[in-house]
Structure 1
Amino acid sequence: MAEQEKVRRPGGRSARVRSDVHQAVTDLVAERGYGTFTIGEVAARAGVADTTIYRRWGSLEALTTEVTIARLTDNSPIPDTGSLREDLRAYAEGVARDVGGPDGLAVLRLAIALSNAGEIGRAARDQLVAGRGCQMQGMIDRARARGERSPELIDLMDHVLAPIYIRTLFGAGPLGNDYTDSLVDRLLNHPHSGDTE
């Protein structure tokens, strides 16, 4: 009966374990940096057995890859306001809120470390870039369908996402809505922006 109850309940212990393990990885990266802790230390911090992590993720690289992708993409829903400018402003504010949160810097550092950590890390980087690109391309495509002039995806990445990430990594200033709105406005007001219809 207990087993049947476990199967019926969505999330439950499995979701809690995932959340605790993800937080443990994020905390350890923030405290020590990537590559300076073991699965055993993650397990101890999360309050689970080593075998739970090995069974579910297989390796520390696979686990840290999942943490990076989840933390940098899960919390940024795609806005649909009816205006590209407002969609991008809301999206940029969401990204800034995610990376400017208590774990944001640690997760960005983890993403950079993983991108230099072999094939699994490069795959994580590519998946992260593709995920963000897909979100932004969706906003561009909707805008074009409405007849709005829209920048290319690479311009959005260069002029909106990149400054948010750089400012976070180097502690170069706050990430308030005025700042993120100014990034979007500069891009969309640029004379060469929106040449594609």
Structure 2
Amino acid sequence: MAREMLRQGGRSARIQAEVHRTVQELLKSMDRGAITVPMIAERAGVTPSTIYRRWGDLSELLADVAVARMRPIADPDDTGALVSDIEAFILQYAEEMSSRVGRAMLVDVVGSVEGEAAAQCCRYTYHHLETLRERAVMRGERPFDIDEAIDRIMAPIVYHILFGDRELSPDYCRSLVDRFFGK
């Protein structure tokens, strides 16, 4: 299905903002399984065809809303040292994403059929790790391999969030960072 090209600002932006706001309100007040495109459209003041034309289906809309909420608003904290920078980032990520809301957003992103939402979330994480690596280099610290950090730190955290098979305690998260740095 061809996607409508969205202009920055104007009517398209207003519609997107209103639909996103409506979805967020509905997610606060009801189970996501009870939410439908016609329900969203009615409350947002648009037709269901507008939603289908822009997002294709409900799963893509939920993923788009989740990605918008996951968009970073600031760089990771600068603690003054690479290991503590990564630890602070990982602890914050694990806390936010293992919450009920965070886990639901991850599920929505992973449930997106087209995969663009998941790719965007990966880019957000990659960008944060690039920022941490660049800081390390500027401080004269040895850089790290971002792909390795994703495989050895981020992947286990996301796995445990999605499958809920263990508590993501700060100690567990720190142990992933320690193992990554060979401690």
TM-score bucket (shorter structure):
0.7 to 0.9
Letter in 2 for 1:142: R
Following superposition, the deviation at residue 97 of structure 1 comes to 1.4
1:11-30 residue pairs with structure 2 within 5 A?
A: 18-24=20-26
CA shift for structure 1 position 104: 2.1
Distance 2:143 2:29 in 1: 39
**Separation in 2, partners of 1:178, 1:23:** 34
Whether the 8 Å contact between 2:109 and 2:118 is mirrored in structure 1 is: yes
With the length of structure 2 as denominator, give the TM-score of the two structures.
0.74
SS of equivalent to 1:189: coil
Q: Between Structure 1 and Structure 2, how many residues are aligned?
A: 165
Contact 2:22–2:40, Cα closer than 8 Å, also in 1:
no
Asked whether 1:157 is paired with 2:135, we answer no
Q: 1:140 to 1:153 in 2, by over 3 A?
A: same
The change in CA–CA distance for 1:93 and 1:60 in structure 2 (over 3 A counts) is farther
How many percent identity over aligned positions?
26
1:75 CA displacement? 6.7
Unpaired runs of at least 5, structure 2: 1-15
Distance 1:17 1:110, change over 3 A: closer
Q: 1:16 to 1:122 in 2, by over 3 A?
A: closer
- 2:28 & 2:125 partners in 1: Cα distance? 20
Matching residue of 2:106: 108
CA contact (8 A) 1:21 1:43 kept: no
Is contact 1:73–1:132 with CA below 8 Å preserved after alignment? no
State the match for 1:173 in structure 2.
166
After superposition, residues 1-197 of structure 1 pair within 5 angstroms as 18-24=20-26, 31-32=32-33, 37-43=35-41, 47-51=43-47, 54=50, 58-59=54-55, 61=57, 63-74=61-72, 77-114=75-112, 117=113, 121-189=114-182
Distance 2:49 2:91 in 1: 34
1:24 is displaced (CA, Å) by: 2.7
Q: CA deviation at 1:25?
A: 5.0
TM-score relative to the length of structure 1: 0.69
Instruction: In structure 1, list runs of 5 or more residues that go unmatched.
Output: 1-13, 191-197
CA distance in structure 1 between the aligned counterparts of 2:70 and 2:102, rounded to whole angstroms: 8
SS at match of 2:44: coil
> Could you report, residue by residue, the CA deviation over 1:24-76 in whole angstroms, capped at 9, with x for unpaired residues?
35877x643xxx853223356xx433449948x93355532322213334377
What secondary structure, in the 3-state scheme, does the structure 2 residue paired with 1:86 have?
helix
